[in-house]
Every structure is written in C-alpha cells, then in structure tokens.
Structure 1
Amino acid sequence: MENYHEHLKGVIAIIIASFLWGTTGTAASYSSDVSSFAIGAFSMGIGGVLLVITARKKLLLDYKVMLEQPKVLILGGVCVAIYPLAFYTSMQLSGIAIGTVISIATAPFFAAILERIISKKSISLQWILSFVVGAIGIALLTLGKDQSNNTAYRINQQSLGILLGCIAGLTYAGYSWAARRLIESGVHSKSSMSGLFGCAALLLLPSLWFTGDNLFSSSTNALVSLYMAIIPMFLGYLLFGFGLNYIDASKATLITLIEPLVATILAVFIIGEKFKVIGWIGVILISLCLLMQSIKPQN
C-alpha cells in the first residue's frame, strides 16, 4: 500500500507539471516578436538558475556523487539545452498543438529505448499497451488538424517542425533518463534536476546576447518571459524531479502526454487552431493512455 501511495504521489506531481508545461505554447504566442531561440534559452536558462539557487544545500551534499558520473551529467545538461530550442521552434513552425504533441509523444519511445539499451531495464506489457494507445491518439490528433489553408511552403514548414519535435522528444527523454540515473545513484531529486539545468543554463544564457533583444521590449513580452521561466520551467521541473523519485523515466515521459492535451485545448479555444473530429478522438485515446498509466503501478 505504501508503494502504491508513493507511486501515486509521483504520478500526481508529474501530471501537475504537465499541465503547467501545456501552457507554454499559448503563452509564447503572445510575444510573437521574440524568437523561439530566445524564449527557449531564457525560460530554461533562468529556470535552471532558480533551481540551482533553491537546491543549493542539496547540491553541496550531492555534487561529488554527480561529478563521479561526468558522462551522465554532461549528456543530461546538453539535452536540457537543446530541448527548448527544438521544442519552441517546432511549435513556431508546425503550430502549438502539433509541435507540442510530437515533442512529447516521441519522448516515451526514446526513454524506453534508453532504459532498455543502457540501463538494461525490461519494458512491461502495461507500458507497451499504453504506448500503443497513446501513439494512435497522437497520430489521430496530428492528422485531425485543419489543413484547408495550408500552402506547399506551409506544409514544408510543418514537416520541419515535426522533425524538430522528434529532436525535442529525444533530448527530453535523454535528460529524463539522466535525471533518473543520478537519482538512482543516491543523488536527491532536487540536486539531480538543478544540476542538469544549471549545466544547461551555462550554455543557454550566453546565447541571449545574440537572440534576446525583444524579451523585455514591452510589458507583454516581459510578463511572458518571466511567466515561462518561473511557472512552467522552475515550478514544473521541481515537480517533475519529485515525481522521478518514485517512477521510471519511461513512465514519467508517458504520463506527460497530458501536456499536448492541455496545449491542444488552449490552442483551439484561445489561439483559434482548428481540428476535425478525428483529432478529438485522438484526445480521448491519449486520455485513455494516461488512465492506463495512472491506475495501477508497474510491478
């Protein structure tokens, strides 16, 4: 019973984080004159600095253990740095809903492969079934977007956005695996996430010298930039790190399929993106995938 309650705490923490992350595309759309690179670098970079500040006591206790695994630390940090650049550019090119969907939907597949190849962990039947249901839902959601006004150029843009979404999914799985690996070696979840994000901040924040001209050029841009850094990035990843204490990275990334649901709903009702009935069937299947993952812990 205790294991079930711990599992449930992890699931709930990651679901809340996913809700927060699902708002990022809609929020970013209100600062259209800011480049996707600048939004990604600022939100993830400042979020990383805040994580390091709040976890400084844990980091002082754990940094030696983390430095004993330099490859894991560097891989995770590089993945964190690449992820927001690919993710926000994907949304800019292919639309908020599809960019978010592809980025998040491909992550469980990559996470399971990493855990299988590197950590030698088995893939459960529950995970396979829920992944199949989720993948079908993702495909229907993507196909369900209204393409009536798309030109050939726009379709090519969307294809590039989908490719970048796959890169985002791979790097998302990469840093989720790295965080979990550090936690399994005895590092506290706060130290794990803040260490990876602190490394990424060292790479991301200097890039704002070239890309960040408009981040604070208006009150709207300033509010969007601060919201993205503090709420989805800082608070969201605190919750995500907490959840990784109790569940594997492949399961965690699968639960985050709730993020594209939130992103899609906001994109439709606030931004005005349009989807056919088949797209909403995809939403139902993704919800079923989440239910399959949340009801019963894996043995």
Structure 2
Amino acid sequence: MGASERGQAVIKVVLAAFLNGAIPILGKLAYQEGLSVLTLLSLRFIIAALFVLFYDKIFVKIEKVDFKNMIFMFGLGFIGYTLGPFTFFKALEYTSAFIVEIIFYTYPALVLLFVALLFKEKITRDDIAALTLALAGLLMIFSNARSDWKVEVFGTLFALIASLCYAIFNVASQKMLNRFKPNTITAYSLLSAAIYYSPFLFCYDFNLTIHGVVIVAFLAILATFLPLILYLSGMEALGASKASIISTIEPVFTLILATLILKEILGFHQLMGGFMILTSIVLLSIRKK
C-alpha cells in the first residue's frame, strides 16, 4: 500500500469518527425534542435504510448477495447496530458513563487480538504502542467524569458485551470486505437494524417538530449512513485493527462539538487526551508495511 492510499484511508476513518462524534450531540438535541431512546433509534435506522435505497437508485448500485451472505450481513447488522447500542445504553443505567466509556473503548484491543488469532495478522510494536497511547488518551479524556465511579456487575457486563459486539462487527466486516464492497455491507447492516428496531416505533407515542425531523435526518444520514460507508472504505485499505485504533479519536470530536454547539467547557485533561490519540493516529499513518 502506497503512502497516498494509506493517507486517504486514514482520512476516511478520521472523517467517519468526526461524523460519529456528532451522535451524542444530535441525540441530546433529539431528547430535548421529547424523543425516547428506542423511538430515536427506530427513526434513525428506518430513515438510514430508506436512504440506502435512494443511494442504490441514484449513486452506486448495491451488489446482489446470495442468501447465505445476506443472513451473515443481517447478523452483522444485529450485532453491530442492534445488540451493541442496546447493551451500551443498558450499561449506562447501571454504571457511571466514565466506566462504561472506558470499558467500551477496549474494543480496539479485542480487534487486535481477534485479527491476530483468526487472520494470523502480525501484531507489531507500532500497533501496540498506538493502541496503548490511544487508550491512555481516552482515560485522560474521561478522567474529569470520575467523581461518580458507580460500578455495578450488570453495568460492567453490558459494557463488555457492547465492546465485544463492536469488535466482532469490525473483524467480521474485514472478512466480508474481501468479497463485497463497503456500500453493500453498509446497506445490509442498516437494513437489518431498521427491521430489528421498527417494531419499537409503534410502541411509543411521539410528536415530531420540524426541528426534530431535521435532527433525526442528520442523525440517520450524516451520522449513521455516511460514517459507516467511510469507515468500511478506510478499513478495506487499513484493516480492522488499525481502523479501530484510529476511530478512538471519536470522543475528541464529540468534546469539540459539545464545546461549539452545547457550550460545554473543554478542559486540560480533554486537550491532553486528544493530543495523545492524535499522536497514536500519526504513528499508525507513517508506519510502512
């Protein structure tokens, strides 16, 4: 892989992390509009799935997939975009956000381990150094929230399941990228999530304002569909382990957006943590194969 191709792949993953970083901000704005978690998730994935169909007709055709691979991709969507988010939110009900975030962001370490065991990929010193630096940066970022270190067994278990789900999604996606294009995996993952979540849309009463419609549309298209296809495109060139480590910059973007949009204060710990994660990305970007 040339330096230019590697650079483009890194940019795609970083851009995906930036868009994903907007999810908590858009979610908070949606909650202010009176939407519940399950209603918001249902609308998010249904609209994203509808946009997939529009994308297929106007831009790039989605590949035809045989029944076996379709079931596999639907399972992938269930693990990464149904079970993963559900267990993450359940963890927050039992355990403080700081603990949940730290446990969840161990998923790059799991990805590194899985690809080494399943795909026989060599774990280099640069990989370990970048991962260690990224996790240390995350610890710095979330350290200001440590005043409430509420730890419960169920919360820890749910957070571990969420981390495992996202690790499995990354590793399985890398395998599927050997046979299918990123837009195809994106399409089936989001379509499956829409099917799983759609029943919840009819379980709750809700009223959408124009402002709420705009927020949900942004969440579905700009913070769900687009980042997933960018992330998978970057992963196609970099591999799951490096892409997952680079994606740890996502909380940095969340903090920046929270500062700009929600007027929250960015502290020294967050700045230092962000710098450490950026350093880990640079370390992975300049490494030669």
TM-score, length basis structure 1: 0.80
Query: Residue 198 of structure 2 corresponds to which residue in structure 1?
Result: 205
Query: Residue 41 of structure 1 corresponds to which residue in structure 2?
Result: 42
Matched residues, number: 283
Root-mean-square deviation over aligned CA pairs: 3.1
Structure 2 CA distance for aligned equivalents of residues 22 and 220 of structure 1: 20
Structure 2 CA distance for aligned equivalents of residues 51 and 128 of structure 1: 36
Structure 2 CA distance for aligned equivalents of residues 38 and 226 of structure 1: 14
Gaps of 5+ in 1: none
Q: CA deviation at 1:48?
A: 3.4
Query: Residue 73 of structure 1 corresponds to which residue in structure 2?
Result: 73
> What is the identity percentage for the equivalent residue pairs of Structure 1 and Structure 2?
20
Q: Note if contact 1:104-1:256 (Cα within 8 Å) is conserved in structure 2.
A: no
Q: CA deviation at 1:108?
A: 0.9
Query: Residue 12 of structure 1 corresponds to which residue in structure 2?
Result: 11
Residue by residue, what CA displacement relative to the aligned partner does 1:26-55 show, whole Å, maximum 9, x if unpaired?
111112232222223322343234235424
Structure 2 CA distance for aligned equivalents of residues 19 and 159 of structure 1: 32
Q: Residues 100 and 223 (structure 1 numbering): CA distance in 2 closer, same or farther, change over 3 Å? A: farther
Query: Residue 296 of structure 1 corresponds to which residue in structure 2?
Result: 287
Q: CA deviation at 1:146?
A: 6.7
**AA of the residue aligned to 1:229:** A
Q: CA deviation at 1:273?
A: 4.9
Query: Residue 181 of structure 2 corresponds to which residue in structure 1?
Result: 188
Structure 2 CA distance for aligned equivalents of residues 171 and 278 of structure 1: 29
SS in 1 for 2:232: helix
**AA of the residue aligned to 1:156:** K
Query: Residue 85 of structure 2 corresponds to which residue in structure 1?
Result: 84
**AA of the residue aligned to 2:119:** S
Structure 2 CA distance for aligned equivalents of residues 77 and 226 of structure 1: 20
1:156-235 aligned at under 5 Å gives the runs 156=150, 164-184=158-178, 186-211=179-204, 213-214=205-206, 216-235=207-226
Q: CA deviation at 1:244?
A: 2.4
Query: Residue 239 of structure 1 corresponds to which residue in structure 2?
Result: 230
Greater Cα shift, 5-14 or 46-55? 46-55
Q: CA deviation at 1:58?
A: 4.2
Q: Note if contact 2:100-2:156 (Cα within 8 Å) is conserved in structure 1.
A: no
Residue by residue, what CA displacement relative to the aligned partner does 1:209-267 show, whole Å, maximum 9, x if unpaired?
224x33x4323322211110011111212212222221211111111112110112233
Greater Cα shift, 2-11 or 244-253? 2-11
Q: Residues 226 and 240 (structure 1 numbering): CA distance in 2 closer, same or farther, change over 3 Å? A: same
Structure 2 CA distance for aligned equivalents of residues 103 and 59 of structure 1: 35
Which one of 230, 248, 251 corresponds to residue 260 of structure 1? 251
Would you say 1:112 and 2:112 are equivalent positions?
Answer: yes
Q: Note if contact 1:116-1:123 (Cα within 8 Å) is conserved in structure 2.
A: yes
Q: CA deviation at 1:203?
A: 0.9
Structure 1 CA distance for aligned equivalents of residues 51 and 35 of structure 2: 22
Q: Residues 90 and 288 (structure 1 numbering): CA distance in 2 closer, same or farther, change over 3 Å? A: farther
Structure 2 CA distance for aligned equivalents of residues 161 and 269 of structure 1: 31
